[in-house]
């Protein structure tokens, strides 16, 4: 007699080795292409790994962009013409955090 769930059974009524419910054999997908309970944690971890790699990549891109902007601002603040232009437009001081980033030391 065939079991109702369609899996192989041993004579003792327990799951046959290598069968659908054998926990010693990893299954990514079941016989009908459905996710098995064992595949759920794996997919969650894979998605989290992808998310974190994406975040690290974005942070790295942002860091490069900040470095580029700071380098440009350092160069501009060394130019007397630019400083004079900024002063005539009313920009006589820099925000504290920007000054610290540009000079590398607190004000």
The pLDDT assigned to 9 comes to 52
| DSSP letters spanning 83-100 | HHHHHHTT--S--HHHHH
Cβ burial, residue 15 (10 Å; 0-12/13-18/19+):
middle
CA distance 77 to 89: 15
Q: What pLDDT band is residue 24 in, cutting at 50, 70 and 90? A: low
pLDDT tens digits along 39-68: 788 889 999 999 999 999 999 999 999 999
Listed residue (77, 79, 57) closest to 69, CA to CA: 77
The whole-chain average pLDDT of the chain stands at: 80
Strand partners, 15: 9
Q: Where are the domains of the chain?
A: 39-103
Task: Indicate whether this model's pTM tops 0.85.
Answer: no
In contact, 36 and 27? CB cutoff 8 Å: yes
């Amino acid at each position: 007699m065939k079991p109702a769930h369609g899996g192989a059974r041993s004579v003792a009524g327990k799951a046959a080795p290598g069968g659908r419910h054998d926990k010693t054999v990893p299954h990514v997908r079941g016989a009908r292409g459905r996710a098995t309970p064992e595949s759920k944690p794996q997919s969650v971890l894979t998605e989290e790994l992808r998310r974190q790699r994406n975040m690290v990549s974005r942070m790295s891109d942002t860091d490069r962009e900040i470095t580029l902007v700071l380098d440009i601002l350092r160069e501009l603040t060394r130019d007397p013409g630019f400083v004079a232009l900024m002063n005539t437009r009313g920009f006589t001081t820099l925000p504290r955090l920007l000054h610290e980033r540009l000079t590398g030391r607190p004000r």
